[in-house]
Structure 1
């Protein structure tokens, strides 16, 4: 599979997207540049030698935070005659550093004019995404003897990019340059440092106190080595699964994001390039996927989301008391309330999922202290579901945005405008209620009942929650069942009419436990049947539905994260072979993406393609795709906490071979799990 020409390196709060030469030439619609806190701090970063652009021989993305580019002057036809080698080594961490090395291979000395064009449009990431660059403040540059300062100010909102070099350079308003002389076989190098500043009132850097790996490569390397060392070890026959697991661990490390003013704690950012910030839903689901392997992410995620839980009614931000945020942004458009993400609460599922994660975290870790610490927030989340989310008054969770200018229309995980439709393809009115969210609400009530009984010393509340959950389950199985298709409707409209399309959402109902057992087999057959299952994975919308499109964002593509939860749900209801079928398809697909599953890929039938078809604008890495192999490992091995111990009940796909997972952490200390797949008798 062809590699993208864009090179991406990142470290939580900062990322760089460039061409394969290392150059950056951004336009308002191109997500290339150096970004931090939703602002582009470098939009131009172009290296020339004697006025000539450079061409790439190759590049190495050495780690998530560093890359190396091997370049020569001239066009491709001149490579064989190249007398110079140029190497750019780049690291992003607390700052952006680039070492430029030039080697003279000629038998004669050379005189070179080396120049870096540098500039910044200070675009807000929302402006880049929407292809609208409308700056209302002042962009400035200040040339000093030993540095170039690029800046943007609008009221108290101020961002600066400061560029300096270890070798003496000549700075001007558009970049900096060197004049160098190289004898035969001599080399020259310099280290360029780019510091980014996010300044608030009084000139204080808003990022003071954030979790920092350090700005030096050695500190970043040590942090990554420690992250991998403390995680469970996975070994597998053929090494493909083990390699995918390691890729996931490394990408999770890269995606650790530290919100401002919350003490440097880290949670998973949603994905690069558009979503390098915290998302309630994405962070929670990623933590559920990765809990057996990186439980510390769940603890910090729960605390951060609890600290930012809604406390008031705010129509602009779709905020209610008890509601868990959807998304937080730090750029100019959020600062000046040109969009509501400061934070924005327009998610209908993050709130019940918060309670689900808290219970699952305690089941694994035994951390009763955190459950007690977050009791008030958990009760508020459950109250939100009952008192504020039931917009129709029939006991379900509904959504309708209150900010019609910038709020999300669809506030479920399938949040594109056309993802919820009737069977004839038309779109229902608002408010809408999607099926999987009712499952999350049921699950949250059942789990909170356990916490109330075992941790909060409130058995009456536990009994109440269990009664409410039972009533919800009975009501749901009556109102959402599509008789002529034998599956659950995607959604209901405000009049109670079914959006009777066959969708992947029915798989979420299994892992939530809301499905009546006598109907579970029908759901399992749909999920691995030809309309939904492509051979690579379960499509978001079934083939044959009016809005089906194999590369429609939520109307026919395959989302790896969703497939991992569907497989988990199938195991919950005893459909181990069906779960293994889905796991096998997704893990096979991962090998074509070098172990890094993208946000989504095409839903074309597997027999039509030798490899999964890439979705053109998919985020990569993306947190819940990164978590997918980890939840599939848990599902295949049947790992479940049980009465203070870890139960293991493997069921691997046919032909997978032996898997071992060592040092799985939990309330039991650390234990190992082993499994072997059944032989493929057809080969």
Structure 2
């Protein structure tokens, strides 16, 4: 499956180009050089003697470095190119690109090399919504330097481009008139510094530009250190090994340093979500916790530090609420978008409590639980106050900002993701089923922390009672007897939104499902309507809005499947969990080990490979975390006090799975699992 676009990234700075390495102005997709939500290059186009170049090969094995091997004209089987060009590109806070022109002929040759350069300084939201700039852009040509500047009041961004070889510089780019001897080469190094001076002077001091640079070697060392700290996987299943290695690489590449906070966080995904997301960051942290626990505390602390403390309709902010999304661009800075930060998710708040408790269970870091007691209590209080919009004991959502706020504030946050079975959309507020599971889990975990670390057994008892009542009420109100499954949601009148969806899988990992109904939930998840053979679809076939290439209405999301597998295993359905593990790992082979945000929900019998969703983010943090959580499921890893329980259940055909040096409060331990053979089954019988 040929990739039409090529990306390199280092944290929040990334470049997306075509397969020649070129960038052309586009408002259809975020191509260009980006840093902290601003596009610093919208034009970066190379020609040789006025001709565009064509790619022979691309080396993009490393996330932060790419090499393009190019020739002018259309390469053919009967014409040998007399000249070729290599673009060696690396990113590390800024962009560096070495251009090399190689003369393969036996005589001296002259060439005109031209790089068109330009920036629209577009905000990512302007690209997504095809907006236009309100400030002024200037281009100043200097000696071997082009300075592109954008100003709007105190909002100031610059791209400063320099060349090591003498160049003719104009406002639209640089030109080199070169002579290259027979079988010789010419090169220049270009550097693009991205300068960030602040939005309204708030994120950093307006007098101090942020435009740091890291060498490719420094990035390589940092990423290698991350790989070295992770548990070592040995296995017979090649797709599992490839996905695990790729996931660790992608998680390393997605780490970025916050402008204002000075800590390393995980960005949610390239290209649209290269920033902190409450829900995404929490779920990714849960996935990576058994493997790289040190990545988790910065996320927990930052989310606690930015916890809502007031009522702000524009930002959907409420006291105790955990943020949804934090942006640094122009539209957020001038409050044209509410993302500074924005609080429009109903699930990030209970999930924050879940993560804090799960982190302590793995690491034994009681100090962090004590330090964040106030934040956790505030989050639990939000569930029962602002979260319960109708006073029914359920967690509901409805945006306070109908102009720019998100309509759907669950993980399926597209406009049409929550529907009745016949395709109709319910009114607001909505109470989706998985939100109730998260609230239930948060209360039980809050009770554990209150009893063990906050010295408040009365509060713990109260939370446990509330959780028990919620579970009882939920199993009464959400269960659709005639369809034998849980409702996707309740509408404002308390009626069941009766579509069959993957959301019911999240109920299993939260533990809110009544034991007598768990098998029926598992049967639906692995049944032909939801399970495509490549994974569980977001919406079942036969539902009114089902579309195998619809964003949340029929596609398969790897992260969704990882939590569904975790839930199945929790209720003892290890074989079914293994089916999901096998399907996702099999799918990963067709994406070179890098699981995308989503792929099409076509049945596996229809396609010999999973069909790519056209605008899926890749890499994406919770997709990168998916193989890690699936590994936890396969090996049955579960912390219990000072010990790690290991109870493997490896699907047939997967062979040996060995994970060494699993970190936690127990030090480091090893886990080994092996799929049963036919001979084992005979002996066992």
> TM-score, normalized by length of structure 1?
0.97
Deviations 1:425-472 (A, max 9, x none): 111110000000000000000011111111111111111110111111
Relative to structure 1, the CA distance from residue 70 to residue 395 in structure 2 (aligned partners, 3 Å threshold; closer, same or farther) is same
Deviation at 1:304, TM superposition (A): 0.9
Q: What is the aligned partner in structure 1 of residue 529 from structure 2?
A: 531
CA distance in 1, matches of 2:173, 2:131: 22
Q: For residues 90-136 of structure 1, give each alpha carbon's deviation from its aligned partner in whole angstroms, at most 9, with x where no partner exists.
A: 11112100011111111000111111110001111111112x13111
**Offset from partner CA, 1:534-564 (integer Å, 9 cap, x none):** 1111111111111111111111111110000
1:335-357 deviations in whole A, cap 9, x for unaligned? 11111111100000000000000
Aligned equivalent of 1:435: 433
Aligned to 1:508: 506
- Equivalent of 2:344 in 340, 343, 346: 346
Give the secondary-structure state (helix, strand or coil) at the position aligned to 2:459. helix
- State whether structure 2 residue 136 is matched by structure 1 residue 138: yes
Conserved? CA contact 1:7–1:19, under 8 Å: yes
Displacement of 1:26 in angstroms is: 2.2
Q: 1:387 deviation in Å?
A: 1.0
Cα distance in 1, alignment partners of residues 593 and 143 from structure 2: 47
Asked whether the 8 Å contact 1:62–1:68 carries over to 2, the reply is: no
* 1:204 counterpart residue number: 207
Distance 1:267 1:295 in 2: 13
Cα distance per residue 1:508-555 (max 9 Å; x no partner): 000000111111111111111111111111111111111111111111
Q: By how many angstroms is 1:603 displaced?
A: 0.9
Superposition CA RMSD, Å = 1.4
CA contact (8 A) 1:656 1:678 kept: no
**Matches of residues 299-338 of structure 1 in structure 2 within 5 Å?**
299-338=297-336
Aligned residues: 675
* Residues 654 and 680 in structure 1, CA contact (< 8 A), matched pair in contact too: no
Residue in 2 aligned with 1:183?
181
Contact 2:278 2:323 in 1 (8 A): yes
Moved more, 195-204 or 648-657: 195-204
**Map of 1:482 onto structure 2:** 480
Gaps of 5+ in 2: none
Structure 2: how far apart are the matches of 1:503 and 1:496?
Answer: 19
Residue number in structure 1 paired with 2:92: 93
Q: What is the correspondence of 1:102-141 to structure 2 with a 5 Å cutoff?
A: 102-130=101-129, 132-141=130-139
Establish whether residue 247 from structure 1 lines up as the match of residue 250 from structure 2: no
Q: Is the 8 A contact 1:28 1:123 kept in 2?
A: no
Matched, 1:18 2:17: yes
Aligned to 2:538: 540
How far has the Cα of 1:297 moved from its partner? 1.7
1:225-624 maps to which residues of 2 (within 5 A)? 225-263=224-262, 265-624=263-622
Output one character per residue of 1:255-314: Cα deviation in whole Å (capped at 9) or x when no partner: 113222112x12221111111111100000001011111111211110111111101000
* 1:167 Cα offset (Å): 1.6
Q: Deviation per CA, 1:77-101, whole angstroms, max 9, x where unpaired?
A: 3883211121001111121000111
Cα distance in structure 2, aligned partners of 1:29 and 1:533: 32
Asked if structure 2 preserves the Cα contact closer than 8 Å seen for 1:197 and 1:205, the reply is: no
CA deviation after TM superposition for structure 1 residue 680, in Å: 6.5
Aligned to 2:31: 32
Q: 1:102 and 1:439 mapped to 2: Cα distance?
A: 60
In structure 1, runs of 5+ residues without a counterpart are: none
Take 2:209 and 2:480, find their aligned partners in 1: how far apart are those partners? 52
CA separation in 2, counterparts of 1:91 and 1:311?
Answer: 41
**1:655–1:680: 8 Å Cα contact kept in structure 2?**
no
Deviates more, 1:283-292 or 1:234-243: 234-243
SS class of match (1:607): coil
- Give the CA deviation at 1:423: 2.3
CA contact (8 A) 2:144 2:165 kept: no
